[in-house]
Chain A
Amino acid sequence: MRLTQGQFSFLPDLTDGEITMQVQYALDQGWAVAVEFTRDPHPRNTYWTMWGNPMFDLRDAKGVMMEIDACRTANPDQYVKVLAFDSSEGFETVRMSYLVNRPADEPGFELVRAEGPGRRVDYTVRSHATARPEARHGA
């Protein structure tokens, strides 16, 4: 199942050139760019593992691209996303977020139904990734 999360996720995967342009846009706005990765992209999993600190003092996208490449090389079978954080007053939040890497085989999610008293049904979305043994280590 192809994960559609964040910006551009209904488009074909961004090329490196396109990622560079997006990162440069964020840097030109004065936003800090961060790289994060995870095995479990559950929609409620807000906290992905940080790949180093957010980059606050860069001016050129090349520095971020080096980190993205390093993160993808180290975690080829995990999801990697790029975030752009706007620290200006009134925002103080993430302004951009998009995937830059996805595993070749995407585990996807399943819908779990739990029957309660009175035949009431609770629904839960569960990542297949968390069922895998290696998911117990790392993200």
Chain B
Amino acid sequence: MKILIKNGIVIDPANKINSAMDILIDQGKISGVEKIINIDVDTVIDAKDKIVMPGIVDMHVHLREPGREDKETIASGTKAAAKGGVTTILAMPNTLPAIDGAEMVDELKNIIGKTANVNVLIAGAITMGRLGSELCDIAALKNHGAIALTDDGSSVDDADIMLKALARAKKDKLVLICHCEDKSLSEKGVVNLGVISTRLGLRGISNESEYKRVERDIGLAEKAGASIHIAHVSCKESVEIIANAKKKGIKVTAETAPHYFSLSEEGLLDYNTNMKINPPLRSKEDVAAIKQALRQGIIDIIASDHAPHTENEKDIEFDYAEYGTIGLETELAVSVTELIHTGLLTWESLVEKMCYGPAKVLGIDKGTLGIGRDADIAIVAPEKEWEVTKECFVSRSNNSAFLGKKLKGAVEHTIYKGNIIYSMKP
């Protein structure tokens, strides 16, 4: 099966391409990227005025399977991914039970093999049950197919265990991803600590609870001589700490999620539980700092932190509601709206942050449109406006912090390994 994408603006920073090009796909691989390709094919996609970019590599996704299939499954989550232009996912291990041993990795691999619609990679837990007290058999996780380690949802409080984990991750060449939160500082908090928590009468989560842990974990990585990836950076102090660490030559990469550069704590003034997220939506000042950090390259990666929850867990008292927003189907549009249309980032730098950058961190051969690579491609209408509604989601959950928002930029087609897995309804 051959597909020809005609007349699109091809963005492929890995190969320094940003111009009108045709792309030929043959047998699931990219077989030609040239000014004009004229050849007989099975399917021609006219991409005039469209952006043609590598499929997104989203390295922070909660697919909830096994255990909480009522929220999301590998099948439904990867279908949502396809709609969002995402072709590779790193699945977080905080499932029920957690992915903390070889058997769990095997079970997950089995489900992925049977039901996934896009490439799903596996992150294993750092500690057994993600409880922070006993290291997993990291070599076994690796041998069975995990490519990263994280206790995401929790931080490893014990510095000694964290240091050992960093050393093991280095030895086994696994990416160590840190959810940075000092629970002794953020305990019971439900929104950002400040004016808004004061007005709402809700318990606050301080910036300190995040950045103190960012500081500690980077310090431990330096000590171990290991590389470290900081998940969902939300506040200005964390940005500063990461910037300084990079200057010092510590091997740190950092990620943020679209809600941290597009929404602030003020969105919570009517107790919208879809905006209850951990780390919390921060102050406008923090939002501005995250944007600048993206522009300056201090934050390398944008990932969704897609966190599906049922309505029963969200449409309740604010204190009792679960933390998190879904993001797979909105991450590109929010980024285009907030970063491209505002002139903050170029298309190349956005693709770098959503495709090639995370692929590099994960050490996978994705995120580019190079000849011979897997034909994982998103074709995007950059000016197309749409409104986020509950009905538009294909995810099993619809707890989006962006409900009601108008976004500019829409995925028209997603191609995964040479197959068109999503096309926007005309």
**Chain B binds chain A:** no
